[in-house]
A and B are shown apart, each in its own frame.
Chain A
């Protein structure tokens, strides 16, 4: 049930994996210090918010490090289950087909912490609430896997703030909404033969088999199998956003061709609905419909609020169109508001190198080195062809001499 989609691939972010050898994670950065300063003058009326904020930060940290045990304790499925039972009018634990789903719900959240073999980075963006309930917006991003925005809904249960539901901003759906739809379909399919007329039974049994295969394929996590099963689903399921988005998710794991086909399929069916705009951004980007990308990003930014990643996506969009002043203005805006958002510096570094602005590239390296205490593998600049001009420059030689 994860909902991560590639989103405007940032060409330079790949550097993250190449250049960083080590990075001190516990060191105070400029932004941390300023946030502490702000905290000093926060009025006491906001004290009661700190509980919720600290819980959300802890969840983001646990998601980032994949602490499954801790995450299991954070999540309370009873509220979602109760909603499912209330809306479908069933006792979920008396239904064999549904019982496993109920148990599976508990595994969803820990599962959000990884994609494939890689750990995801989770950042808490904003939070609000009071002593009894709290909601916080969390962003996850992993360079090649795109981004996801989730708003956790926390309530005080037995004296502890626990996640009782969450809202996926890209899908514009809550986990409880999706669960109700999904389980209603499962329940309907499981009992369809009981209500079918004799002449319908063959068709019903065939649909049941296909639906069951889709469930099994999804559980296997094999994208090809899921897509094949999706193709075999009855049309009334294939046209539902829930299944279409599962297929889209799987297609994105295969290759660009599958991904674009899935996106076009989504656009044909739901292109007129603005709520899926963010999911279609990659398609618009591929088709160089930059005005649509810009419109969708800005609209989404209004929903999310301040987020350096969205600004960086807008910066990259400007860069793609050759609007250099706008690109640098966006970067400046991020550096102003979120000076320790690391990705910005990599994007800038790559662009400075590409433009032959070598002293500026060195300036960025110095920020990375001094502010983030990042140890840079200088050999990368020697081995990578794209750095040939840079490594021959006086700026690079001076920097290398000075930092050796």
Chain B
């Protein structure tokens, strides 16, 4: 269930405001502004479902004036929530309101606790603690956002908390064009949900997603009023494991931008004319060029320099939330955030005549960006787009552990990008036909010297592209002993008598961005014997982490599988001696719109070989394909664990002679095939 306090914080992070204002304790307590329309709610309305809280009222009213200072923007919120049980009490006993004091002010208007119809006003007395959480600090981002934590006393189950506040001001980097988004339902039901915008602008556009709604339009005191009121809003049951573009929640966007081209123009002004002629940048470009053997080599050298030599640090304070720093400054300080790195990389590439641009993307909405209205708020990340030899490459200066040539690099498919200053100023689809983001080739060899002895399991895994970069990260940030323990833990789930022989060895082929890990294990009690038969279990673990069943199968949204990728697996089981193993050696193919799985069993000269490959063709399982996906999973999983049975040569009379005869026939047949 989404907490309303977090929801409020999300809104505030999206709508930035005006000028910095120093206040006592960072906020003020004052009365509700007179432009706000007070909404009533039914305090006696019984809750519909056995939930932790009941949302009696969620009200948002904004006064967004384009013809005056950005500091004049006002964002009013009011929430009335009944705490239905101890879980609801625990989750809501302290209220969090986030804002950016660099350009915003918090006005607390009211905080009432209503018990048995009697209200206590606590706004003036409540204990408020201002916390600079820097929630993104772990990601090396400093955004200056402060959270006011309100801790009212004597809150009990059954109480209604009714509080309201206004955030004043917005980030000046956005100029006079307003935009924003407002959720229209939550994971809990809402008795009454209101949205009202007062503005002096005629450019406001609205687009609802997930539900068809159009705000009513009125004139109020010379301003335009756009208003929505929803009652008895049902809660949303989220399937989970869904791509952002298939979010089951409904929302409404508003924006004064009439097109993506207009947003591109806004961004282009922030990125234009910065540092192209800086001596330091020019010198660095020349140095990298001297080291490069080709244009392609220069591109990756420049990328790796920006990734590895410029430390990631986001000082996204005030306008620097969206305005990049000059490449010269970034080079001097040797740190920068995504937009700084993107601009530096684009500049280095342009210096050598390579066509490159910063590109705005959304790591949250990804393909969903297209569903909303054009606005700068649609994006949260900047990468670099390079046009080279007829292809578009999307390079990310913030990624680490990349290696290889341009076509070997790992990548993230964010769906759409706004390439700043590019001839095509609209949203661009990054990968019309997404290439494989990852490939993993696994070779396992089980070597047996005798049916009464332990076997040796050798595993060699070669990772490509994204998968190689993940492994490079792992091996650079964990000790080999830890990795060894993790690997052993993994195999130990299947082989109870397994032990490691040595530590995992790895080979990092940075020329081709391939990372190879080799492991060796010893498995005791591998063979099971019963009467004249010998059994052994085969575990085909290669796909265990990739092919999973959704937790919710009766879904309303597609199931997210992750980026298209391919895994191949070859297992060789070397028997101690030639055996008779009856197999259906025809290849088996399981295919549907989502995936393709092919496997084949073979036996020759004492070696059983199982080859298989899995290709995930799409990132999502469409609703119409879910049945076939689940059916194919059941079918594929039969190939993940099975038993091989052979007769024991030492017990069955004539078996050894038969094997000798077979070996002889094999020689005499000279490899003849029908």
Give the interface of A toward B (CB within 8 A).
28, 30, 33-34, 36-38, 40-41, 324-326, 328-329, 331-332, 335-337, 339, 348, 360, 363-364, 366-367, 369-373
Contacts and interface: CB of A to CB of B under 8 A. Distances in A.
A30 B580 contact: yes
Given A30-B658, A371-B658, A40 B645 contact: yes
Contacts of B673: 329
A326 B669 CA distance: 6
20 contacts: A34-B582, A34-B645, A40-B645, A325-B668, A326-B669, A329-B669, A329-B674, A331-B669, A332-B669, A335-B665, A339-B580, A363-B660, A364-B661, A366-B657, A367-B658, A369-B654, A370-B653, A371-B652, A371-B653, A371-B658
B478 to A, nearest CB: 40
Interface in B621-674: 643, 645-647, 652-655, 657-658, 660-662, 664-666, 668-670, 672-674
B532 interface: yes
Contact of A332 (B653, B655, B660, B665): B665
B467 to A, nearest CB: 34
Given A335-B665, A370-B654, 11 more contacts: A37-B533, A37-B645, A326-B674, A328-B670, A329-B674, A337-B582, A339-B658, A363-B657, A367-B657, A371-B657, A371-B658
A366 to B, nearest CB: 5
A43 to B, nearest CB: 10
B265 to A, nearest CB: 66
Interface string B521-537: 00000000000110000
A372 B665 contact: no
Contact of A324 (B580, B643, B668): B668
Contacts of B660: 363
Nearest to A40: B645
A373 B662 contact: no
B647 A363 contact: no
B580 A336 contact: yes
A30 B674 CA distance: 26
A328 B660 CA distance: 14
Contacts of A336: 580, 582, 662
Nearest to B649: A30
A241 B666 CA distance: 44
B578 to A, nearest CB: 11
B300 to A, nearest CB: 52
Contacts of A33: 532-533, 647, 652
**6 closest Cβ contacts across the A-B interface?**
A371-B654, A370-B654, A329-B669, A37-B645, A332-B665, A328-B668
Contacts of A328: 665, 668-670, 672
Given A30-B652, A370-B654, A335 B645 contact: no
Nearest to A323: B672
A106 B438 CA distance: 69
A30 B661 contact: no
Contacts of B654: 30, 366-367, 369-372
A324 B580 CA distance: 24
Interface of A is mostly: helix
A109 B188 CA distance: 76
A373 B580 contact: no
Nearest to B642: A41
Given A30-B652, A33-B652, A329 B657 contact: no
Contacts, number: 86
B165 to A, nearest CB: 64
A28 B670 CA distance: 32
A41 B661 CA distance: 29
Contacts of B658: 30, 335, 339, 367, 371
Contact of A38 (B645, B653, B661, B674): B645
Given A30-B647, A41-B645, A373 B661 contact: no
Contacts of A36: 533
A372 B655 CA distance: 10
A331 B665 contact: yes
Interface in B87-137: none
Nearest to B643: A41
B132 to A, nearest CB: 62
Contacts of A38: 582, 645
A36 B654 CA distance: 18
Contacts of B652: 30, 33, 371
Contacts of B645: 34, 37-38, 40-41
Contacts of A363: 657, 660-661, 664
Given A30-B652, A33-B533, A332 B666 contact: yes
A103 to B, nearest CB: 46
A234 to B, nearest CB: 47
A332 B645 CA distance: 20
A285 B643 CA distance: 45
Residue among A34, A37, A360 with the highest chain B CB neighbour number at 10 A: A37
Contacts of B674: 326, 329
A324 B668 CA distance: 8
A399 B661 CA distance: 16
Given A30-B647, A33-B647, A337-B582, A326 B672 contact: yes
A385 B27 CA distance: 117
A329 B672 contact: yes
Given A37-B533, A367-B658, A371-B658, A325 B669 contact: yes
Residue among B643, B665, B666 with the highest chain A CB neighbour number at 10 A: B665
Contacts of B672: 325-326, 328-329
Contacts of B582: 34, 38, 336-337
A162 B109 CA distance: 90
Contacts of A348: 661, 665
Residue among B643, B654, B666 with the highest chain A CB neighbour number at 10 A: B654
B533 A367 contact: no
Contact of B662 (A34, A37, A332): A332
Contacts of A324: 668
A30 B661 CA distance: 14
Contact of A373 (B646, B653, B655, B657): B653
Contact of B664 (A326, A329, A360): A360
Nearest to A326: B672
B13 to A, nearest CB: 55
Interface string B252-269: 000000000000000000
Contacts of A329: 665, 669, 672-674
Contacts of A326: 669, 672, 674
B662 A335 contact: yes
A28 B654 CA distance: 11
A30 B655 contact: yes
A370 B657 contact: yes
Contacts of B665: 328-329, 331-332, 335, 348
B606 to A, nearest CB: 13
Interface string B476-504: 00000000000000000000000000000
Contacts of A325: 668-670, 672
A349 to B, nearest CB: 11
